[in-house]
Structure 1
Amino acid sequence: MRTSARSRFATVLRWCLPAVALAGMAVVPARAAGPDGVPRGTPAAATALDIPPGVTAGVAVFDRQTGAFTEQHNARTRFRSASVVKLLIALDHLWNRGPDYTLPADDRARLDTMLRASDDASASYYWSRNGGGAIVDRMVSRLGLADTAGPPAGHPGAWGYTALSAADTVRIYRYLLDGAPEPVRTLVMGDLRQSTRCGTDGFDQRFGIPASFERPWAVKQGWSGFGDSDDCTDTAAVTGARSGSPAPSAAGARAAVGADDVDLTQRALHTTGTVGAADRSIVAVYTLQPTSTSFGAAYTHLGRLVRSLDVPGAVRPAGTWFGTWGSDVRVRAGTTTSATVLTELPAGVEVLIRCQKQGQRVEVPPYVNDWWAYLPLYGGYVTNIYVRSPDNRLPDVPLC
């Protein structure tokens, strides 16, 4: 088939596929970006946040060098924390441990798994062992958090329903970086710098901050409401139990009333952490997205928002952003279908493409393509068949 097949392919995507196949997916290619990763047609420093329609966002970016916020949007709005609360669970567990904060080997392994791979079983273990909602009460008092509250009264065991705001999240990181004992800072921040590509529940954790900025970064991500996933593959991931969303239980019941005003229905996707040399900027971005939003679409929405932020010290990766289509799209170590599978893309997600090269001819009847795109975030290649573009060879993308 000649290259013109791609044009016919793009037309089919726009007009012929059932609407359900395109739910949550861009119909046209994503906003392209120049070599510095900044979308074409926008200034180097964005003047407005890119918040997609239907998305509720809470944002705070704090420049530790100047001591000032560079971004604030609904910074005091409460969101259900999902796995971001694991920061408070870890800090509470480490509080007043003694001069060296040494943990038994099994305890240290469990804490590492919780912070690096966002393991839910580990969080539930600490939540039950250390008093449930009392953990949140203690940390609110210790850190002077203004918007944080434990789970709603009817869900005392659901640690992911803890309410957090972007502003309080910045305060948590400021404590970690500037107030915590050195062993605690080294342990927690060290784990966040080693965040695995995949969570133990099978979800891709490289959204938001790690997808938008070059290292150094340290992240604690959060997601809730997307069901189960086993798409993400990461041989470096810390092995842990798959527990999915924590089920409400009587564990950790307390007298205090929790955050009954948090939204427990919409899908939540959050990215928090530090960016730049010496942890220059603290970034906290919380989003709630409609229940019809796929994980790939939510991942894309969050990425667009994060890329629009003013983040001092951040280095944006070179490349061009494109939409993708299809599910179970594999990222491979080389440009052949026999090359090692590194991971699978969330369905319909936008990806950063740095360069392209010709490789094995791939057929997805009635389409064929022998061009492959290199994805720096994943360190591998995908066939261009699954990249949203009218031609086999992607426009304005250099050769590898």
Structure 2
Amino acid sequence: MKIAINTRWLLKNRLEGIGWFTHSLVKRMVESHPEVEFHLIFDRKPDASYKYGPNVVMHTVRPAARHPYLWSLWNHYRVPAKLRRIKPDVYFSPDGMGVKNWKGKQLLAVHDLNFEHHPEWIPRKVGEWYQKHMVQYGRAADRIVCVSRETLEDVSRTWGISTSIMDVVYNAPQSNFEPLIGANIELPISGKYFLCVGSINPRKNLALAVRAFSKYRLQGGDAELVLVGNHMHIDSELERVLEESPYRNKVHFVGRKHGSELNAIMSNAIALLFPSLFEGFGIPIVEAMAAGTPVICSNVSCMPEIAGDAALLLSPFDADAWTDGMNQMENQSERQTWIEKGIERAKFFNWDSSAKKLWENIVKTAGNA
């Protein structure tokens, strides 16, 4: 079998969500199937570390596709031309962007339909492009995998696609997270803290976290609040709430963290606060659980599915409930209960089983004549 894969998100030292998804799954498939020829298609010169085995052929297809106009050029003309030369049995696209002007089999991964339901949370031109093209890719695909059952059902409802050609391939922690508590660990602050992890944008609902934190401090709480993540889009509500909070100097933005550094920051937090309004999966939930950190997360979107009974699930619109949850997590016996539940729940999500599930869908796609 010959498989072509869109690997434009594999950027050295710059892996984000889809990049980690691609890396974690493709590496395992390459190593598990030495009899298969894998053609990895990049939009810039790839780093040699992404040649996962001797059965990998790396291709660079220009231009670097980082703008809606260039997405169209890359997916509708440049990549199809490359595929006509490679002649793969299946083309797999981990970012949900299929190709046009090519008649072969396509398997797409869809992470969420945020752009369909809340286009106001992303730049206008990006949202318009996604709304026009992503549904076309989805309806033309031979099969689709989604990172949660909630996303799968959303794709079926919103795009009118049968669930019979869809499957769930879960995300997992970006690395081997584990409890890391003790000496020789560099932390963002010296005292106690609650933690938020994720890109800074309106979807993450960090304004609610700050409101709940301010009430927690007003009631006598002495922990601080650490926010991990890059600023993606302007969050005017968060800016307003911070400006009004008398405890804004107790809120610390520390930028993007990953790997063992993020593991340590998570492990030493009182709890992860994850008040997001919409997610396709919510990777920080399972990373915190694996790191031995209690989780308080929203009770909407896919989050109840991912967290199961191992997190305190609260309305993302009720700041008082989140304040109560923060106080609850300062009770050590209560906290230990959530830690134990979380560690057990995190074991359910692992890249080995997800890679096997993805491979099953590649085989089904190839055989779907």
Superposition TM-score tier, normalisation by shorter sequence: under 0.3
TM-score, structure 1 as length reference: 0.25
TM-score, structure 2 as length reference: 0.27
